[in-house]
Amino acid sequence: MSTFKAPKGTYDLTPPDSAKYLAVREALSAPLKNSGYGYIETPGFEDVALFSRGVGESTDIVSKEMYTLTTKGGSELALRPEGTASVLRAALEANLHKLGNLPVKLWYSGSYYRYERPQKGRYRHFSQVGAEAIGAEDPALDAELIILADQAYRTLGLQNFRILLNSLGDKECRPVYRDALQEFLRELDLDDDTRRRIDLNPLRVLDDKRPEVQKQLVGAPVLRDYLCDACKAYHEEVRDLLTAAGVVYEDDEKLVRGLDYYTRTTFEFVHDGLGSQSAVGGGGRYDGLSEMIGGPALPSVGWALGVDRTVLALEAEGIELELPSATSVFAVPLGEEARRVLFAKVTELRRVGVAADFAFGGRGLKGAMKSANRSGARFTVVAGERDLAEGVVQLKDMESGEQQAVALDALVAEVQQKLA
């Protein structure tokens, strides 16, 4: 161990477990790549105002959890706490919304940073795969994204997750509801912090998990009763499309999510095996965000799925992903000449696309065979002086235990044929 450790609330991904994370990232993004979403990558940090304006000053993410810094040049930056604002900023900057047909569909994968109280499933550095569909108001787009996330989780084998769905209304009907809710909340017996929240972000008060608050919320006005006809029709269409696709969801009137920019459709994927940090993914429509950050009106919808929590969900369900072995052939030379000959063969195998590795470090046969076993290779190639004198190597099938002498010149073709 060195003097240093990974910072609090973070952890390292190391082999062999890291392979599982890669596979999860791949599985979460595969349905997007197959559905017209193009890959986008943005910097790990942004102008802090992008998040304070976009995500919202009153949210925990911005007010408590952002890693902010002032550069030597005096710029105020923040490590990105989420993906949507950055992706929209980048799409506007590149004029993607003017180049082709709308919507602009994008997917991304990366690291995010929140200064949260660490616990299982909640880290200060975590990883998400996300998708944004920018510039179209179409319930089919909302439905598409929910269906694709559902598909991603299912291809991983997950079953014990639920989809929670709600509509937050739009700029017409939400303010009316907000007023009614504020009026109701102001009559309650609440602490100062929560009182301040009534002014800033009253919907978040509904999210308060404390029993003494929940008890008082019985009879609070519900947003559904305030939705305007356009929002109602939109939401019905999303629900119908999901049902037609065979995707099961639950209506959850309390689902408000922690970011200010959401309008209309919001949804969350929760996994029942994860305890308190049960959200494995979430998203929604953000029709006003573009204008909030100085762009044109671009109604959009998106989601972000947590890679870390998806891995935890797999563990909770006891699912072992079938990961192909990283190495197909492992070469074990016995002696100096064999070392040169087999190293050349390993290079040749790699050049034709066979995953191959080599017993480095000149350890004895026993240690080298241990490495071969640990590599998970299907075949080992062993050669000593006597083999080379006869122009052969010993090719061992690690599954069947069978071993045969193969002419050195025929080795690459033989291995390719056996692996095919």
The smaller minimum CB distance to ligand AMP, of residues 112 and 177, is found at 112
Interface residue with ligand AMP, options 115, 122, 194, 222 (CB under 6 A): 122
Please give the Cα distance from 89 to 80 (Å, whole number): 12
Ranked by CB distance to ligand AMP, the top (closest) residue is 306
Q: Is the peptide bond before 103 cis (omega within 30 degrees of 0)?
A: yes
Rounded to a whole number of angstroms, the minimum distance from the CB of residue 320 to ligand AMP is: 21
Q: Does 80 bind ligand AMP (CB under 6 A)?
A: no
Interface residue with ligand AMP, options 26, 47, 60, 116 (CB under 6 A): 116
Q: Does 299 bind ligand AMP (CB under 6 A)?
A: no
Rounded to a whole number of angstroms, the minimum distance from the CB of residue 279 to ligand AMP is: 4
Rounded to a whole number of angstroms, the minimum distance from the CB of residue 307 to ligand AMP is: 8
The smaller minimum CB distance to ligand AMP, of residues 127 and 380, is found at 127
Q: Does 279 bind ligand AMP (CB under 6 A)?
A: yes
Interface residue with ligand AMP, options 28, 80, 82, 346 (CB under 6 A): 82
Q: Using CB under 6 A, which of the segments 15-23, 52-60, 122-130, 220-228 binds ligand AMP?
A: 122-130
Q: Using CB under 6 A, which of the segments 25-33, 92-100, 273-281, 404-412 binds ligand AMP?
A: 273-281
Interface residue with ligand AMP, options 204, 285, 309, 339 (CB under 6 A): 309
Q: Which residues contact 339 (CB under 8 A, 6 or more apart)?
A: 333, 362
Q: Does 31 bind ligand AMP (CB under 6 A)?
A: no
Q: Does 302 bind ligand AMP (CB under 6 A)?
A: no
Inter-CA distances, 220 with 177, 201, 217, 231, Å: 11, 15, 5, 21
Rounded to a whole number of angstroms, the minimum distance from the CB of residue 126 to ligand AMP is: 3
Q: Can you name the residues that pair with 163 across neighbouring β-strands?
A: 269
- Residue ranges in 156-215 that form contacts with ligand AMP under rule CB under 6 A: none
Q: Does 114 bind ligand AMP (CB under 6 A)?
A: yes
Burial (Cβ within 10 Å: 0-12, 13-18, ≥19) of residue 153: buried
The b-or-e profile of 27-38 (16+ CB within 10 A means b, else e) is bbbebbeebebe
Among 303, 302, 304, 300, CA closest to 134: 300
Q: Using CB under 6 A, which of the segments 141-149, 205-213, 230-238, 300-308 binds ligand AMP?
A: 300-308
Rounded to a whole number of angstroms, the minimum distance from the CB of residue 159 to ligand AMP is: 17
The smaller minimum CB distance to ligand AMP, of residues 201 and 380, is found at 201
Asked if 47 and 75 touch (Cβ cutoff 8 Å), the reply is yes
The smaller minimum CB distance to ligand AMP, of residues 131 and 173, is found at 131
Asked if 285 and 266 touch (Cβ cutoff 8 Å), the reply is yes
Rounded to a whole number of angstroms, the minimum distance from the CB of residue 122 to ligand AMP is: 4
Residues of this chain that interact with ligand AMP (CB under 6 A) are: 82, 114, 116, 121-123, 126, 128, 258, 279-282, 304, 306, 308-309
